[in-house]
Structure 1
Amino acid sequence: MKKPETDPVIARNRKAAHDYHLGETWEAGIVLQGMEVKALRAGRASLIGGFAQVENRELWLHAVHIPQYAQARWFNDGSRRKRKLLLHRAEIDKIERKVNEGALTIVPLTLYFKDGRAKVEIALARGKKTWDKRHALAEREATREVERAVSRRRKGRPD
C-alpha cells in the first residue's frame, strides 16, 4: 500500500511574488537523474534565481539548485545544470508565443512531488519596477496596521 505524503512541497520561490507580476501558471514534469530525486526527497532544493527558457521547441529550467546527495557516488553531476521540463507541445508553443510577444519571463514558483513524480509550477511573469515593490510593501503595511487596530478595538483596548 502506498503511504500518503504529508508535505509534498520541496521548495517555494517566495521572492518571485516580490520581484514579478505573476500571470498564467502551469504544472510541468521535470526530468531528473537518480541522485537528484533522492536529494529532493531529503527536502533540499532552491528555486531562487531560477528561470525557464524555450530552446528548440523544448522548455528548459535553468539555475535551480539541487544539491548533491551525500550518500551518492563521488562523481555527481552539477547541481545547477539545466533540466528539461515536460509539457504538451501546444502548451510550450503558447508559452513561447507569449514570451516573444511581451517582455515576459518564465519563473518557477514551487517544486513538489505529486503521485511520486517531481513537478514544478511555472508562471509567466513581468518584472516589477522598484517603485512597484515599494508600493506593494506600503500597501501590505497599511493593511496590517488596519488589522491591528480592528483587533485592538474588538478586545476593548484603546488605540
Structure 2
Amino acid sequence: MSRPKPATFEKVKTVAENRRARFDYAIETVYEAGIALTGTEVKSLRFGEGSIAESYAEVKGEEVWLVNSNIPEFSHGNRFNHEPKRPRKLLLHEREINKLHGAVAREGMTLVPLSIYFNARGRAKVELALAKGKKAHDKRETIKERDWKREQGRLLRDRG
C-alpha cells in the first residue's frame, strides 16, 4: 500500500512562482511533478534563477512536457551549458498522466505550473495545477473578494 501524499508539499526553497496563474485560472487539482534537468540547469535553479511566468504544460503521448519555462544559462557553464527555453519533461505516475490527459482533452482544462522549488531531499519539483480559465467577470469577483478581505483586516486591526 502506498504512502498517502501530504496536503501541501514540502517546499524548502522556492525558486520561481507563477503568481499570475492563481488570478487567471480557477485551480481544480494540484500535482507535484519532478523535472528532468541537466546539471547546469540545476545549478542555475540553486542560484535562484528561473521563470515560469509564461509557461504551460502539455501532454504528448504518454509524457508531460513543461513548455516555455526559462532557466537562464549557468554563468560558469562552458560548452556543456543548456538551452534556456527548451521543453523539459515532467515526471509523473502513469495514472496521473492519464487523468491529466483526460481532463485536458474532454473538459477543456489547462495544465499550469504554479511554482518550481526544491524539496527536503534536494530534488527540483514543479507544482502543477489542473485549472480552468477565468472569465473577466470572475476576475473582477476575485478582485472584490481580495479588497474586502484587506479592508476587513484593517477594520479588525483598528478596533482591536
Normalising by structure 2, we get a TM-score of 0.88
For structure 1, the residue ranges without an aligned partner over 5 or more in a row are: 1-5, 155-159
- 2:20 alignment counterpart: 15
Shift of residue 94, structure 1, vs aligned partner: 1.0
Matched, 1:37 2:42: yes
Q: Distance in 1 between matches of 2:118 and 2:30?
A: 17
- 1:149 alignment counterpart: 155
Matched, 1:87 2:92: yes
1:140 partner amino acid = R
Match of 1:98 among 98, 103, 112: 103
- 2:145 alignment counterpart: 139
Asked if structure 1 preserves the Cα contact closer than 8 Å seen for 2:16 and 2:52, the reply is yes
* 1:107-146 matches, cutoff 5 A: 107-114=112-119, 115-146=121-152
- 1:157 alignment counterpart: none
Task: Figure out how many residues of one structure are paired with residues of the other and give that number.
Answer: 149
For structure 2, the residue ranges without an aligned partner over 5 or more in a row are: 1-10
Shift of residue 113, structure 1, vs aligned partner: 1.2
Shift of residue 135, structure 1, vs aligned partner: 1.4
Percent of residue pairs identical:
44
Kindly name which structure, 1 or 2, has the bigger radius of gyration based on alpha carbons.
Answer: 1
Normalising by structure 1, we get a TM-score of 0.88
